[in-house]
A and B are shown apart, each in its own frame.
Chain A
Amino acid sequence: GWDKHSYGYHGDDGHSFCSSGTGQPYGPTFTTGDVIGCCVNLINNTCFYTKNGHSLGKEKKLGLIQVSFSSSQSNLYPTVGLQTPGEIVDANFGQQPFVFDIEDYMREWRAKIQSTIKRFPIGDRLGEWQAMLQNMVSSYLVHHGYCSTAAAFARVTDTTIQEEQTSIKNRQRIQKLVLAGRVGEAIEATQQLYPGLLEHNPNLLFMLKCRQFVEMVNGTDSEVRCFSARSPRSQDSYPGSPSLSPRHGSSNSQIHSTGADSPTCSNGVMSTKSKQSHSKYPTLTSSSSSSSSSSPSSVNYSESNSTDSTKSQQHSSTSNQETSDSEMEMEAEHYPNGVLENSSTRIVNGTYKHEEILQTDESSMEDGCPQRQLCGGNHAATERMIQFGRELQMLSEQLCREYGKNTVHKKMLQDAFSLLAYSDPWNCPVGQQLDPIQREPVCAALNSAILESQNLPKQPPLMLALGQASECLRLMARVGLGSCSFARVDDYLH
């Protein structure tokens, strides 16, 4: 306690020393056999000592401690000073139970912090408060596409939903597809319903394609599924969208035929169904001309990419930025809005309907073929997968050419392709990609992108608030505000 930024309790006189050679009368003296404890409270920046399990009371000199704690360089370290040679000290940092009932002390502070949070004044805008809460709930439901729940909630609380029902339903459908592992269909549906969206987000598209590849390995993507006899059954697991399945078969076959060898018809699905939307873009013709130089299969993408790049130039500065920092994009999307993106989606999915679908899918898969096999064990499907892999590789090269190297993409691709290197992809170091839970970030990214394209927030306010709260706590931890350890966000999410 004599030196600067040090604090001590001396056994010979029972005085406490706060960065000074002159002590203050503090507690009793102590000697051989006594158990002395020191408890630093990072919430109110005080410390106290204990003797044989009895708290000796608060240190008086709070000011000094506060200064030293807040300045990051002077951390505190436990120290014991000895006077005579041969003295022995046992130190306990919690490996054994403390004599002083520290648990009880922590309980008190936890209760204190929690009651502070509970009693936090929200001002006299109580009406607004409630409206805000309702809005939070409603927007959350809408965001994740629980349209009937959202409608019911809106009815009861007498609020309105910004987004149209059909729009919500569309998103719901796409999300279901992704979560069921049928990424190919999801891409098509997105291209159909939100023309231009994926073209403007090459990174997203790449991510989706990568996922699609993984799902092909998994044997769940419809492009490989259609080769197996089980596809009708799996389509049955979507009772909510009966119109979906018939269209599927046809578009799939189209892709196959076009993707294989006809550069002129590179648009695939778009060519038939989304002509209208394509015509919106004046740059289409110029880009298609540029496509002639590249390989046949990549035409499709190069076209869309060039559309994207040109469009992004017309676009507002924000989208410009996004494409230019393409490497940062993934993080940029997650970071400011809530660092706990991953965990938050997991929470979301706890109640998500797709779990059911997944289960039925999985069970149907299991009774179809008890052992999981590459692409469902179908040879044609495997070929298709390899074909798709090549396309993907080319897309990656394309993107690389246009936007420069992208380590995130490279890693994604590498991981996805690595699956093929193992005889049993499910039990290999990169096998966790096949876990259905990995579909969730992809799904969330797609959903956010769709919403953004509709000029709607890409994050529901609820998640935004949650993310902010978590980030705030993280920040508090960084600057050493102790109360954050008793206010974990998880404690409030049941």
Chain B
Amino acid sequence: RLLYLLQQETSSTELRTECAVVLGSLAMGTENNVKSLLDCHIIPALLQGLLSPDLKFIEACLRCLRTIFISPVTPEDLLYTDATVISHLMALLSRSRYTQEYICQIFSHCCKGPDHQTILFNHGAVQNIAHLLVSTSYKVRMQALKCFSVLAFENPQVSMTLVNVSVDGELLPQIFVKMLQRDKPIEMQLTSAKCLTSMCRAGAIRTDDSCIVLKTLPCLVRMCSKERLLEERVEGAETLAYLIETDVELQRIASITDHLIVMLADYFKYPSSVSAITDIKRLDHDLKHAHELRQAAFKLYASLGANDEDIRKKIIETENMMDRIVNGLSESSIKVRLAAVRCLHSLSRSVQQLRTSFQDHAVWKPLMKVLQNAPNEILVVASSTLCNLLLEFSPSKEPILESGAIELLCSLTQSENLALRVNGIWALMNMAFQAEQKIKSDILRGLSTEQLFQLLSDSDVNVLMKTLGLLRNLLSTRPHIDHIMSTHGKQIMQAVTLILEGEHNIEVKEQTLCILANIADGTTAKELIMTNDDILQKIKYYMSHSNAKLQLAAMFCISNLIWNEEEGSQERQDKLRDMGIVDILHKLSQSSDPNLCDK
């Protein structure tokens, strides 16, 4: 009935305004209210109302729309169904401070993902909203700021634009820095820090710019302090994790600022006391916060420890850190598990830690568990952590193998997900490095030759490289080479030929030639090369290639083939001499490369 009145052109604007106000009040109620309003197609009706010439009515409609759009049950896409809506809203931005506030609030809630960002950006959101940052009304400033923080989030296009926009002769970054000042409301500090973070990550602001190093970073660290609200601490830690993720210097600064590493340990102490479980709702609320806090802390630890060995050490030395990570790996919340794995991954880059604390806490156990039936995003991180744990010096290698890692990794190589394929094959490569015969044949068996070939023809260079790496690791030490070549020789030779003939980059070819060199090191496997004229011609070709690395690799093949102390070396030398290899060698010996000492 209200909606009917609202839409009735004939009814007076006062009445229609009242209707919009009442509807807005209804929308303030429970989620069910919003749902039923949505079912009545309230949004098109309200959007229609925006076309009215009466400002009061427009404001009432906007207020109601705002209330509906900020409700979690409203799908954001409803805003984008009609392209004219956005441009009309942009036009309304100049009408009054209320329209400014509501519209900015709608935008900031309905802007999810790059598509929305692009739509709003193309409608001139940046230019239209920028001047609102210096509005006299705090609410307008705040909502405009929020708009920018969502627009710029992980969006280089918007971020690059923002740096050069100026309002009243001041560039936006300067305005944002002013909003970071400590006497500003926390919400404002945090949101402007997010804007600056996005701009920094997009490359719009350098990471060594003082507004990042001396303003944004300390501000975000402050947000992690105990004095802040739980939500602020979570957001602060997440934003900081994002800011420093790829920059070692920022990681170092953050690690010494305000005892951040110790401060983060407090994130695990919530809820502080397990009070009497009287209020189930309260408990639920606490639990949610506890999860959010923990995952934020893990994320930030992951970023902090991404590159610097000293920082990793400091993190691990924080009270009960490894236990917390291990517990985190088996948490019910996916978010926490993911963050914990990330953190573990970061820390697993430390050789020393792999040998000590990782071993002490038997980290591999929960990690293997995480790998079973986990969603892809966790698998990606978990499997790359596993890669590190399977490095030959890692004491965890043995137990991991025993717990069926080969099978798991082989199945990963068949995944649709590229990252999983890479990690799977990468882990196998690490596993095969200086491994026993049994492990090697287990890998081959587990992988199957078809799969191996599949991987060798993978479109991704990384997969290809790691597969070749696996082959090379498999084909090391003479008995292993001979054993493997005796069973899979034909296929491997085929694959090698294929790759040498194909269009690949130099690293791939080098790796392949190294495989050949390994094969040439085998006692019986040598023959496979010697009898294959095609391959010999190729080796000869690469010996006179313009790239020194390829020449060197090819030289290794030759030198392995003609090694004097072995039986039949004379014959092979003769054959190669016939092919004109010696001439090339002479030529090479005159070059200044150190590889001439080979012969």
Q: Is A435 an interface residue (CB 8 A)?
A: no
Check if B183 sits within 8 Å of A57, measured CB to CB: no
Check if B257 sits within 8 Å of A56, measured CB to CB: yes
Check if B257 sits within 8 Å of A108, measured CB to CB: no
Interface range on chain B: under 10, 10 to 19, 20 to 34, or 35 or more? 10 to 19
Q: Is B258 an interface residue (CB 8 A)?
A: yes
Check if B259 sits within 8 Å of A57, measured CB to CB: yes
Check if A54 sits within 8 Å of B183, measured CB to CB: no
Quick one: which of B181, B182, B256 contacts A54, CB cutoff 8 A? B256
For chain A, residues 49 to 91, give those with C-beta under 8 angstroms from any C-beta of chain B. 51, 53-58
Check if B258 sits within 8 Å of A111, measured CB to CB: no
Residue numbers in B under 8 Å from A101 (CB-CB): 214-215, 218
Check if A57 sits within 8 Å of B182, measured CB to CB: no
How far apart are the CA atoms of A445 and B521 in the complex, in Å?
112
Residue numbers in A under 8 Å from B257 (CB-CB): 54-57
Supposing A55-B258, A56-B258, A101-B214 touch, asked if A107 and B182 sit within 8 A by C-beta, the answer is yes
Quick one: which of A51, A104, A111 contacts B256, CB cutoff 8 A? A51
One digit per residue, 1 when the CB lies within 8 angstroms of any chain A CB and 0 when it does not, for chain B 559-590 equals 00000000000000000000000000000000
Residue numbers in A under 8 Å from B181 (CB-CB): 104, 107
Q: Which residue of B lies closest to A107 (CB)?
A: B183
Residue numbers in A under 8 Å from B248 (CB-CB): none
Q: Is B253 an interface residue (CB 8 A)?
A: yes
Interface centre among B183, B218, B258, B260 (most CB of A within 10 A): B183
Q: Which residue of B lies closest to A54 (CB)?
A: B257
Check if A110 sits within 8 Å of B183, measured CB to CB: yes
Report A344 CB to chain B, min CB distance, Å. Answer: 29
Check if B259 sits within 8 Å of A111, measured CB to CB: no
Residue numbers in B under 8 Å from A110 (CB-CB): 183
Check if B259 sits within 8 Å of A54, measured CB to CB: no
One digit per residue, 1 when the CB lies within 8 angstroms of any chain A CB and 0 when it does not, for chain B 522-546 equals 0000000000000000000000000
Residue numbers in A under 8 Å from B182 (CB-CB): 104-105, 107-108, 111
Residue numbers in B under 8 Å from A105 (CB-CB): 182
Residue numbers in B under 8 Å from A104 (CB-CB): 181-182
Report A21 CB to chain B, min CB distance, Å. Answer: 23
Residue numbers in A under 8 Å from B258 (CB-CB): 55-58
How far apart are the CA atoms of A54 and B251 in the complex, in Å?
13
One digit per residue, 1 when the CB lies within 8 angstroms of any chain A CB and 0 when it does not, for chain B 180-193 equals 01110000000000
For chain A, residues 101 to 118, give those with C-beta under 8 angstroms from any C-beta of chain B. 101, 104-105, 107-108, 110-111
Q: Is A404 an interface residue (CB 8 A)?
A: no
How far apart are the CA atoms of A108 and B260 in the complex, in Å?
20
Q: Is A28 an interface residue (CB 8 A)?
A: yes
How far apart are the CA atoms of A28 and B255 in the complex, in Å?
9
How far apart are the CA atoms of A111 and B185 in the complex, in Å?
10
Supposing A54-B218, A55-B218 touch, asked if A108 and B183 sit within 8 A by C-beta, the answer is yes
One digit per residue, 1 when the CB lies within 8 angstroms of any chain A CB and 0 when it does not, for chain B 256-270 equals 111110010000000
Residue numbers in B under 8 Å from A51 (CB-CB): 256
Quick one: which of A53, A56, A107, A108 contacts B259, CB cutoff 8 A? A56
How far apart are the CA atoms of A53 and B210 in the complex, in Å?
10
Q: Is A27 an interface residue (CB 8 A)?
A: yes
Tell me what chain A mostly uses at the interface: helix, strand, loop, or mixed.
mixed
For chain B, residues 231 to 289, give those with C-beta under 8 angstroms from any C-beta of chain A. 253, 256-260, 263
Report A119 CB to chain B, min CB distance, Å. Answer: 15
Number of A-B residue pairs having CB atoms within 8 Å of each other in the complex = 38
Quick one: which of A53, A55, A111 contacts B183, CB cutoff 8 A? A111
Supposing A54-B218, A55-B218 touch, asked if A28 and B256 sit within 8 A by C-beta, the answer is yes
Report B509 CB to chain A, min CB distance, Å. Answer: 46
Q: Which residue of B lies closest to A28 (CB)?
A: B256
How far apart are the CA atoms of A101 and B257 in the complex, in Å?
14
Residue numbers in B under 8 Å from A108 (CB-CB): 182-183
Residue numbers in B under 8 Å from A56 (CB-CB): 256-259
Residue numbers in A under 8 Å from B215 (CB-CB): 101
How far apart are the CA atoms of A249 and B260 in the complex, in Å?
83
One digit per residue, 1 when the CB lies within 8 angstroms of any chain A CB and 0 when it does not, for chain B 190-228 equals 000000000000000000000001110010000000000
Residue numbers in B under 8 Å from A54 (CB-CB): 214, 218, 253, 256-257
Report A128 CB to chain B, min CB distance, Å. Answer: 32
Residue numbers in A under 8 Å from B213 (CB-CB): 53
Report B337 CB to chain A, min CB distance, Å. Answer: 30
Residue numbers in B under 8 Å from A55 (CB-CB): 218, 257-258
Residue numbers in B under 8 Å from A28 (CB-CB): 256
How far apart are the CA atoms of A111 and B259 in the complex, in Å?
24
One digit per residue, 1 when the CB lies within 8 angstroms of any chain A CB and 0 when it does not, for chain B 134-170 equals 0000000000000000000000000000000000000
How far apart are the CA atoms of A486 and B183 in the complex, in Å?
13
For chain A, residues 473 to 490, give those with C-beta under 8 angstroms from any C-beta of chain B. none
Residue numbers in B under 8 Å from A107 (CB-CB): 181-183
Check if B214 sits within 8 Å of A53, measured CB to CB: yes
Report B264 CB to chain A, min CB distance, Å. Answer: 12
Residue numbers in B under 8 Å from A58 (CB-CB): 258-259
Report B268 CB to chain A, min CB distance, Å. Answer: 19
Report A176 CB to chain B, min CB distance, Å. Answer: 42
Check if A27 sits within 8 Å of B256, measured CB to CB: yes
Residue numbers in B under 8 Å from A53 (CB-CB): 213-214
Interface centre among A101, A107, A110 (most CB of B within 10 A): A101
Report A470 CB to chain B, min CB distance, Å. Answer: 24
For chain A, residues 420 to 478, give those with C-beta under 8 angstroms from any C-beta of chain B. none
Residue numbers in B under 8 Å from A111 (CB-CB): 182-183
Report B310 CB to chain A, min CB distance, Å. Answer: 9
Residue numbers in A under 8 Å from B183 (CB-CB): 107-108, 110-111
How far apart are the CA atoms of A107 and B178 in the complex, in Å?
12
Report A11 CB to chain B, min CB distance, Å. Answer: 13
How far apart are the CA atoms of A55 and B259 in the complex, in Å?
9
How far apart are the CA atoms of A53 and B256 in the complex, in Å?
11
Report A285 CB to chain B, min CB distance, Å. Answer: 72
Residue numbers in B under 8 Å from A27 (CB-CB): 256
Q: Which residue of A lies closest to B252 (CB)?
A: A28
How far apart are the CA atoms of A27 and B259 in the complex, in Å?
8
For chain B, residues 272 to 323, give those with C-beta under 8 angstroms from any C-beta of chain A. none
Report A38 CB to chain B, min CB distance, Å. Answer: 15
Report A487 CB to chain B, min CB distance, Å. Answer: 15
Q: Which residue of B lies closest to A26 (CB)?
A: B259
Residue numbers in A under 8 Å from B256 (CB-CB): 27-28, 51, 54, 56
Known: A51-B256, A57-B257. 20 other contacts (CB 8 A): A27-B256, A53-B214, A54-B214, A54-B218, A54-B253, A54-B256, A55-B257, A55-B258, A56-B256, A56-B257, A57-B258, A57-B263, A101-B214, A101-B215, A105-B182, A107-B181, A107-B183, A108-B182, A111-B182, A111-B183
Interface CB pairs A-B, < 8 A, 10:
A53-B213, A53-B214, A54-B218, A56-B259, A57-B259, A58-B258, A101-B215, A104-B181, A108-B183, A110-B183
Top 8 nearest A-B pairs (CB, nearest first) are A108-B182, A111-B183, A57-B259, A57-B258, A107-B183, A28-B256, A104-B182, A54-B257
